[in-house]
Structure 1
Amino acid sequence: MPTSPLHYQNQLLAALPEEERRRLGVSLELVPLDYGQCLYEPGAQILDVFFPTTAIVSLLSDIEDGTTAETAAVGNEGIVGVTLFMGGETTLSRAMVYSPGHGYKLTGRILKGEFHRAGPLQRSLMRYTQALLAEMAQTLVCMRHHTLEQQFCRWLLRRFDRLSPQALVMSQEMIAQVLGVRRAAISEVAIGLRTAGLISYGRGRVNLLDRPGLEARSCACYAAIQGEFARLLPGGTGT
């Protein structure tokens, strides 16, 4: 595939020098990433990686009681499958598409070859991995120490950073599953945010109405994550 303007929708690909992007572009395959699609299961060997353009992929960890919780998400700022080039081959996380769209698929063999060239792609992937690990760590702190409203606001803001227009299509049941809480708890928090005029929601659709207000209701974790992505990546807020 020749270099496409769509490559610029993924920030890691867009940041590459033109020559490297052209070489990699021959092997990139634009694929749909559908709602509910599982890209990886825990423990399964990773054969391909994905560079999302318009989709968002949740990285979920299983909990002993049978529930799950999202430790991070990947949108157009990153890549799904970092363990492949880090040498792990498998992962404990489940990668699920909850915001459908498209992304570029690349076979693991080709990615490893490009990574071991020790060029711009390797440097970008290493910096992205550092930012992703920081998000995972901050998310765990948030889940342990902050209120559900603060967690939900942080989670919404990170989603809206990657979405245009500012509308999230996802049921409360799925949001509760991602955050590892009861649906009734999410419903109560969402009603409070809607009453405050920060969001609107209905029929599985959440719209952002007041970003400054939502940021004020969030905890410091959102700004910390944003700051780390901005520090490590070009345009690295996921916008």
Structure 2
Amino acid sequence: MDDPTSATDVDPRRNAILRSLPETEFARVLARCERVRTALKESVYDRGKPVEHVYFPLTAVFSHVALVDDQVVVEVGTIGPEGFVGLPAFLGTTRSPNATFSQVEGDSLRMSVEALQEVLRGDGSLHRALSRYTQAMIIQLAQNVACNTQHTVEERAARWLLMTADRVGAPEFPLTQEFLAQMLGVRRPTVSLTAGVLQSAGLIRYTRGRITIVDREGLLDASCDCYLLLREEFDRLTAG
């Protein structure tokens, strides 16, 4: 991981959890954080290993992935500036049940688990915000299970691209077909065919490992209803 001082000076209130805090508690949390920048595919948690830090993403996007025999099966959750990486620590456990890595390179505020527990002992606004966020993540996990079994690869790919663009805050971001195949739990040739369909329809442009959403409304129409359901739930539960 890069030296924390190398992270760009991004406004900490870009993170929705931090933005919801009153000024006094926001200052307490910020004083216990350091700025870090995670590279693409950089691991922050290994399955079954101790959780030592938690993260408030600012421009970075993280993926939780389920593993079987140490092989990535499918993404089970995505976290960007709307949320928090480290729910096991908040819920009182010491190890992560899933692997977590940086899906999109970017900046975060990192806090030690000990510092988090110190702040949470006050049972203030951060505790309430993380409780609401836990509910949002439970909904995301449950909806992902339903989506993966009921919707087509094209619908799921469109949903994933829209959610990632929302978290990045831009219509363009780095993405390889191999990575998208892992996130959707399908073979790479399937993703190649799916990306070709979306590109032929004029919805996206894919060149040299980068995706550009050309027609957001069209991609929204191509997506399943899970995208809007999850976005509305996160907006409601993280708004306070």
Task: Please classify the TM superposition score into its range, dividing by the shorter chain length.
Answer: over 0.9
**Residue 72 in structure 1 maps to residue 77 in structure 2:** yes
Range 61-70 or range 49-58, more displaced: 61-70
Given candidates 82, 88, 95, the residue that maps to 1:83 is 88
Q: 1:146 to 1:89 in 2, by over 3 A?
A: same
AA aligned opposite 2:45:
Y
The question of 1:164 aligning with 2:169 is answered yes
**Distance apart, 1:137 and its partner CA:** 0.8
Do structure 1's residue 41 and structure 2's residue 30 form an aligned pair? no
Task: Answer whether contact 1:63 1:69 (CA < 8 A) is retained.
Answer: no
Separation in 1, partners of 2:41, 2:169: 20
The CA deviation string for residues 111-155 of structure 1, in whole angstroms up to 9 with x for no partner, is: 112122111100000001110111111011111111111111111
* Conserved 8 A contact 2:73-2:182: yes
Q: Give, in whole Å, the separation in 2 of the partners of 1:108 and 1:88.
A: 11
Q: How many residue pairs get matched?
A: 232
When the two structures are superposed, what TM-score results if normalisation uses the length of structure 2? 0.93
AA partner of residue 97 (structure 1): S
In the aligned structure 1, how far is the partner of 2:192 from the partner of 2:125? 45
Q: Percent identity?
A: 35
Give unpaired runs (5+ residues) of structure 2. Answer: 1-8
SS in 1 for 2:71: coil
Aligned to 1:144: 149
Q: Which whole-Å CA distance do the structure 2 matches of 1:165 and 1:117 have between them?
A: 37
**Which residue number corresponds to residue 201 of structure 1?**
206
**1:96 and 2:116 correspond:** no
Deviations 1:58-103 (A, max 9, x none): 0000135934210111100111010101012212110011200110
Q: For the residues of structure 2 that align with 1:189 and 1:161, how far apart are their CA atoms?
A: 21
Q: CA deviation at 1:226?
A: 1.1
Q: Which amino acid aligns with 2:31?
A: V
Decide which of 7, 13, 35 is 1:8's aligned counterpart: 13
Change (3 A) 1:95 1:173: same
1:230 partnered with 2:235: yes
Alpha-carbon distance between aligned partners in 2 of 1:160 and 1:168, rounded to the nearest angstrom: 7
Find the counterpart in structure 2 of residue 214 from structure 1. 219
The separation in 2 between residues aligned to 1:88 and 1:24, in whole angstroms, is: 21
Deviation, structure 1 residue 224: 1.3
TM-score (norm 1): 0.93
State whether residues 10 and 58 of structure 2, in contact with CA within 8 Å, keep that contact through their aligned partners in structure 1. Answer: no
Give me the whole-angstrom Cα distance separating, in 1, the residues matched to 2:186 and 2:134.
27
Unpaired runs of 5+ residues, structure 1, are none
Q: Which digits, 9 at most, give the CA deviation of each residue in 1:208-227, with x for residues without a partner?
A: 11111111111111111112
Alignment match, 1:178: 183
Question: Counterpart amino acid of 1:157?
Answer: L
Range with greater deviation from structure 2 (42-51 or 173-182) = 173-182
The answer to whether the 8 Å contact 2:38/2:107 transfers is yes
How far apart, in 2, do the equivalents of 1:65 and 1:42 lie? Answer: 9
- Secondary structure in 2 aligned to 1:45? coil
Cα drift, residue 170 of structure 1: 1.4
1:187-234, CA deviations, whole angstroms, 9 ceiling, x for partnerless residues?
101111111111111100000111111111111111111121122112
Q: Which 10-residue stretch deviates more, 65-74 or 211-220?
A: 65-74
